Amino acid sequence: MLIEILLVCLSAAVPLMLCLATLHLWRLHVNASRDRACGLPLPPGTYGVPFIGETAHFAIWGAEFYKCRREAFGHVYKTHILGQPTIRVIGADNVAKVLRGEGTLVTSKWPASVRMLLGDGLVSAEGDTLRRRRRAVMRAFDATSLASYVPGIEEVAADVVQQCLDADDVVLLQPKIKEMTFRVAADCLLGIDFRGSELSEWAALYQNVLNNLFSLPVKIPGLGLYKALKSRDQLFVKMDTLIDRELEHLTSGTDHIPNGKAFSRLVTAWHADAASESGISREELKFAIFEMLLLGHETTSSACSMLAMQLYKNPKALGKVRQELEDFGLTDPEAPLKLPLINKLDYVNSCVKEVLRILPPTGGGYRRVLQTFEINGFQIPKDWTVIYSIRDTHEVQDTSPRPDVFCPDRWTNGGGAATSKTTDYSYIPFGAGARACIGREFAKLVMKVFCVQLARSCSYRLLNADGALRLLPVPAARDDMPATFMSRSDVNNNVTISC
């Protein structure tokens, strides 16, 4: 009887001992990747279970994973996610050290599936190649270009708001906004007015790429990456047709004037630089446009959706926007917008900045460590992944009593102690440094025009304004923001806002 009990205990103890031994060896393996030549300790944190690390927790909890780790370990901590030992840093000074070290301390680090899909774009570029590609693409976002985009943005925004007004039933506002930002991107960047089946076809291909952007880096039919690559290649065929059409105009022997859209400007510049070493290849041109459409409209869609949500939840702020529009003679939905006038709308701008502070479209960025360096007395080892936080940094750097509250007045001169600063790295909704988002001014312009059109054209009611949000990959309402719309009648503009 005693022998049987011992055998039972032994049979239970052996698997437990093996698990404990595996866990111990796993921790030793990860710790062995620290820089032994550096006398500084690794940051606090946990590695999770062998091989999987804390990826499962991250996949299930999403942004809540980061919140829990921050509360437990502070502003610099270690983890193991997506197959890599990783350190996450929070706070302006910490983030500044990472972003200022681009090319010396750190370099771009994206999952393999993203690198394979975005190929010869800005995401994977480094050094002189990065600078060359950025210079080429920046031509599409200078002041002259932005001014030329305003009528197109206004027309699309007005059309989408009118569709909501014409609806007899509840409208899912979030998908409508996503349609708007894709049409805006297509019109301003490609010069195509997407309607009907053509819009659906392009949008479906892009959505398939987005859905499988973070997937297993294996090109096997039926799996996510294979489907995404197939959709990307179909989009490239369409882009080749557009490039050939533009080149035909350029080489026709007649004086060709670019149509003012980003695509036309970029192709014209690309054609002129074709023989120059500073130019970009046709393949790089396609990847640049592909990347701008893919990443640009998704993040801008999120920002516009969160703006609509926050304005509804804060009627005094919406009233103050309408008061500003009245002051500038812009209450008529048909009144045309011009860039100089848009730039004078200080309160609209404050609303945009506040949404980007409290719910930035991107929560952070990934980098690979090129050489060991120090943050807050901890070593950031070579070859590890370091993630800099945007959303958490905005929260911890804000000095107001309620950094989690939407308050556009914190950006005005009368904000007093609640006024936030945009200097240094305390406010970085579009990143900063060498890899800061090229289209940031375009995204803010779309948000401002949408804000104006929404405020002056209609009144709306969100049926579940306090519904749950998901924060990854971008902030979005889980229920797609069901809403009802009506034309504006009497709106009391004589309101103030306090925080």
- The parent domain of residue 154 ranges over 90-487
Whether 302 contacts 475, CB under 8 Å: yes
87 DSSP β-pair partners: 78, 386
Strands (E), 275-418: 364-369, 373-375, 378-380, 385-389
d(CA 121, CA 166) in angstroms, rounded, equals: 40
**Residue 40, pLDDT score:** 94
Distance, C-alpha 201 to centroid of its chain: 23
What is the number of domains present in the chain? Answer: 1
- Model pLDDT for residues 15-36, shown as the tens digit of each residue: 544 444 444 444 544 555 787 8
477 C-beta neighbours (distance < 10 Å), count: 22
Helix (H, G, I), strand (E, B) or coil at 347: helix
Q: Which helix (H) or strand (E) holds 175?
A: helix 173-185
Total count of residues recorded for the chain: 499
**Residue 258, pLDDT score:** 47
Span 449-463, average pLDDT:
95
Whether 268 contacts 256, CB under 8 Å: yes
Confidence label for 458 from pLDDT (cuts 50, 70 and 90): very high
d(CA 308, CA 461) in angstroms, rounded, equals: 10
Confidence label for 312 from pLDDT (cuts 50, 70 and 90): very high
Q: Is residue 4 part of a domain?
A: no
Phi, psi of 283 (to 5 degrees): -65, -40
CATH code assigned at 205: 1.10.630.10
Q: What percent of the chain has pLDDT over 70?
A: 81
**Residue 51, pLDDT score:** 66
- Model pLDDT for residues 317-360, shown as the tens digit of each residue: 999 999 999 999 999 998 999 999 999 999 999 999 999 999 99
Q: Is residue 274 part of a domain?
A: yes
- Model pLDDT for residues 213-261, shown as the tens digit of each residue: 777 788 888 888 899 999 999 999 988 888 888 787 777 655 444 445 6
Q: Is residue 38 part of a domain?
A: no
**Residue 404, pLDDT score:** 83
Q: Is residue 466 part of a domain?
A: yes
Whether 342 contacts 449, CB under 8 Å: yes
> Which of 130, 112, 114 lies closest to 122, judged by CA?
130
Query: For 256, how many CA atoms within 13 A lie in the half-sphere containing its CB?
Result: 18
214 C-beta neighbours (distance < 10 Å), count: 19
Distances (CA, A) of 48 to 53, 88, 375, 380: 4, 15, 23, 19
Span 111-122, average pLDDT:
79
Higher pLDDT, 256 or 316: 316
User: Which structure tokens are listed for 158?
Assistant: 């007005």
Residue with tokens 């490039």: 243
* Residue 86: pLDDT over 80: yes
* Residue 447: pLDDT over 80: yes
User: Which structure tokens are listed for 186?
Assistant: 């297509």
Q: Which helix (H) or strand (E) holds 171?
A: strand 171-172
Query: For 104, how many CA atoms within 13 A lie in the half-sphere containing its CB?
Result: 8
**Averaged confidence pLDDT in the chain:** 82
Q: Is residue 220 part of a domain?
A: yes
Distance, C-alpha 154 to centroid of its chain: 22
Q: Is residue 437 part of a domain?
A: yes
Phi, psi of 413 (to 5 degrees): -65, -25
> Which of 44, 26, 50, 36 lies closest to 89, judged by CA?
44
d(CA 177, CA 315) in angstroms, rounded, equals: 20
**Residue 281, pLDDT score:** 77
* Predicted TM-score (pTM) of this structure: 0.83
Q: Is residue 136 part of a domain?
A: yes
**Residue 21, pLDDT score:** 45
Query: For 272, how many CA atoms within 13 A lie in the half-sphere containing its CB?
Result: 9
Distances (CA, A) of 358 to 294, 337, 461, 462, 464: 23, 27, 22, 20, 19
Q: Is residue 318 part of a domain?
A: yes
